Structure 1
């Protein structure tokens, strides 16, 4: 989708102060040393007892709202994307984020699309703003996750993935900003949905057996059901990723080589090398991956947090293009292209 009048007016991130390194996790017997070497994630941030995902998200949201400098009554939508438990059952964390970060009476929605939730929310917010182009409006998108034992083991629940706590935020506006959203593209392939559901059947509630979530077994059970399933899935995912990237680049009237920045998830080094640098042709020098190896995979927020890092630390210039890509279980891919119009004052 090509966007003409959707802008980024503010960005924010909130990363907890406590650091836990991969070295420390290996020494404590929580993380396999061989996996640590292969995955390449050096450390994660660990949220405090009173910092569930929505609290982190509200802090990131307040920063983005302050940087945007727009009045609260202009926010016609607040979207909150997350992956893990949000600190309370039977609750709507997005309304907490709205109340704590910006206020107002705009539409609120929670987005649950796995690791692609942040970018999926950006595309939804852009659609909302474009449909209301005759009136000045803004939308706040936040992400926030804190991965805690005994429900979730950040070092062991998933294979080739280490989970860190953190939150990101973006303010979109239909009246201007320091960057322009040039295009987005999304693609879903629900035939891959069973990979993370597994084969063990349904449960009556979360944490039903008192053990941490086991995503490793779910994936292996599915992929070992038939010969060649692993290769088929990899080929299918590669095809889908290429398709959505090509669509977004075409709608933005650019080639991948035109991008000064490329922001992808903070995943295992082996996956980044294979999926992004080898198959898609992304130049590692354009990414923030080396920085991200000190934070790990922050649920739905890697992309928004990474874009914030670019704005704060990589000195974007007017005309610079940024491409960001997400993929979430289900499976769904989203690519967004931003063009910096100026260096943000903050």
Structure 2
């Protein structure tokens, strides 16, 4: 998507429940096989005992508005994305989030594009803000709750472990000459320089397998069984087919995204590539090698405390970039998202430079580029960076 108006992610937030289940606890109760612990690369998953996914989304969106000092009445557009059941069968969770937030005049849209839904929602919001000069403020939310009996967060999939949580991003646009508006804050914000997606629709069979079309949800079984459909896909296409596609499509996506942002893939100001939170095995077998084909920037796995957040991985990546101070003002990062179908998205973001010179002695020095490690760095390593 070519951005014709400046777009800023004024705030981004990740909200997860206080209750967690560690991998040690999951193994002890038989929910996770001991031999799978190293494959996760993660230490725990957040578990929502009481709050539904849309309720978590309202909290995340409210936190964004509070951080920006904006009233919900200023929101022109609210786009909500999800992967799994939102609590009701025939209903609009996007309108619930708008209602709960108090954004009663905002147009509410729902996006269901599997785990790339957050990126698709952001792309939709950006397109609306680009197309209509009367619109200035959009809130993008995601939320998922992967609970029993319909979903097994530890054993329902190969190589993915699903955490409950919500994410939100407050996106604002300006007209030419408005970049200095007083209600735009630099602290905690990111400028969106480019946002692109690519699709390999032939991979839709990975989540369909050999199953016929059913007449109602869960007709193929009471619990979602992604392993069954993935096993059928691997038997038909081979174990290396998906990794080959990732290594073809993701480098192309990174190169086209950085080119659209007007930066080189080897630019020293490109500090890192934030990976989707899909587990150590998938990242190291497919995504880390794919990233290395396009850029030497370090690849970060930030899912150690959350696991995979369904549709929320991209927006959670935005929040982590700021909260963990992974990039300094003037520095750039790529945030990748992936979802069944299959679609990959890449956002290029930059921490805006301070609006006014910092006092003497407080300027942060540019950090020397570090060599990319042979595997994705963990959340703890990223925090120590």
Alpha-carbon displacement from aligned partner over 1:51-107 (angstroms, at most 9, x marks no partner): 111111110000111222334343221100110100111010000111112413222
What is residue 124 of structure 1 aligned with on the other side?
Answer: 124
Structure with greater helix share of residues: 1
What is residue 70 of structure 1 aligned with on the other side?
Answer: 70
What is residue 380 of structure 2 aligned with on the other side?
Answer: none
Unaligned runs of 5+ in 1: none
What is residue 300 of structure 1 aligned with on the other side?
Answer: 311
Alpha-carbon displacement from aligned partner over 1:289-344 (angstroms, at most 9, x marks no partner): 2x421210010112211221221221642211121111110111111111111479
What is residue 334 of structure 1 aligned with on the other side?
Answer: 345
Q: What does residue range 208-287 of structure 1 map to in structure 2 within 5 Å?
A: 208=219, 211-225=222-236, 229-258=238-267, 259-281=270-292, 285=298, 287=300
What is residue 99 of structure 1 aligned with on the other side?
Answer: 99
User: 1:231: how far off?
Assistant: 2.8
What is residue 361 of structure 2 aligned with on the other side?
Answer: none
Question: Mean Cα displacement is larger for which, 301-310 or 276-285?
Answer: 276-285
What is residue 153 of structure 1 aligned with on the other side?
Answer: 152
Unaligned runs of 5+ in 2: 356-385
Counterpart Cα distance in 1 of 2:226 and 2:265: 33
Q: TM-score, normalised by structure 2?
A: 0.83
User: 1:204: how far off?
Assistant: 1.9
Q: TM-score, normalised by structure 1?
A: 0.92
What is residue 42 of structure 2 aligned with on the other side?
Answer: 41
Counterpart Cα distance in 1 of 2:154 and 2:326: 33
Pair member with larger Rg: 2
Structure 1 pair 338–263 and aligned structure 2 pair: CA distance change class (3 A): same
Structure 1 pair 138–312 and aligned structure 2 pair: CA distance change class (3 A): same
Alpha-carbon displacement from aligned partner over 1:2-26 (angstroms, at most 9, x marks no partner): 3241111121221100010111111
User: 1:275: how far off?
Assistant: 2.4
Structure 1 pair 279–261 and aligned structure 2 pair: CA distance change class (3 A): closer
What is residue 29 of structure 1 aligned with on the other side?
Answer: 30
Q: What does residue range 129-208 of structure 1 map to in structure 2 within 5 Å?
A: 129-133=129-133, 135=134, 137-175=136-174, 177=184, 178-208=189-219
Question: Mean Cα displacement is larger for which, 251-260 or 155-164?
Answer: 251-260
User: 1:188: how far off?
Assistant: 1.7
Counterpart Cα distance in 2 of 1:315 and 1:275: 23
Counterpart Cα distance in 1 of 2:102 and 2:331: 29
CA RMSD, 1 decimal: 2.0
Residues 147, 153 of structure 1: 8 Å contact kept = yes
Alpha-carbon displacement from aligned partner over 1:144-170 (angstroms, at most 9, x marks no partner): 011111100000100000000111100
Counterpart Cα distance in 2 of 1:209 and 1:301: 26
